Structure 1
């Protein structure tokens, strides 16, 4: 950063630290992107984001940076954020429209009803039928305990590992690298893996319980 950079990617807290320590100058910023803005502000980062933007933005100035907000969901307060940080003539691009949700037309969706005591066996059969011994599968669980138990269950015949918030960050990175490289075929995870991960060629995604 001392030599000058074109693009800076960072978390709100880390960027704010660099600003406070005088290691970052945002006076010439031309573009600001807030990714997953609904989650970012909902998790309590609103104050940090405002502190950062206050440095780069001047009130009622036409020379303020272009601002782009990306959000998977759009509750009303996301639009309030847009009005606050963006110009009055901002454009909104909605890929869902009036529907509450939109699924890819190339993805087949199945719902299988079973007793909770049979869930591991059913998931094991589903993986075997729809993913086979070579395809990659992600299984989402509601709790860390459930993820650990399912990853160790003998009903899942393929090599399997778990991923959740109690696992140290370094080990999580090793696990994700192994999954991407095909070292093991089944990843059992909590919602820690629900957003922000790019894992290509996943053949099957299973939710062990109905989404809430």
Structure 2
């Protein structure tokens, strides 16, 4: 709530945001959100921005026609600064596409929009769950009320080559975990993440 109030104060006391659910509304959402998505680190570094294809637009419209999608935008004035797009299946909304303008990172606009969206979803009482999907982030730890272990499991043919590859992979995992503990111990993790995402150190 402190972050919500802070952003409202930044905007002159009035939060401007919008939810989208009908086919025509989804078209409008994509029109506004796609240029924003291209500026996000999710798109630039992870190739996980909003798809710009006509196929995706038609799929989103079909979901909207069946009331199986929710999308949201947070604005500063007329400028979109954060987006969230959540398709649904079997009563479960999926945290599939999200991002924010890197210029607004200090204002926590992604967190603000998530809070507003969840408030509206609770009031709507249509969906059973909001699935934050796999992976661990501070954002998910903040909002989630439950978690389940999940894994990608691969079966490989027993051979010397595959055995070596698996052991090297395991060794790299151990090294990565150790390095993560080192940078966390020296308080560098947040700064390194910022460099990787935005190309500059935190002040």
Quickly name the TM-score band, shorter chain normalised: under 0.3
Higher helix share: 2
* TM-score, length basis structure 1: 0.22
For the pair shown, the structure with the greater C-alpha radius of gyration is 1
* TM-score, length basis structure 2: 0.23
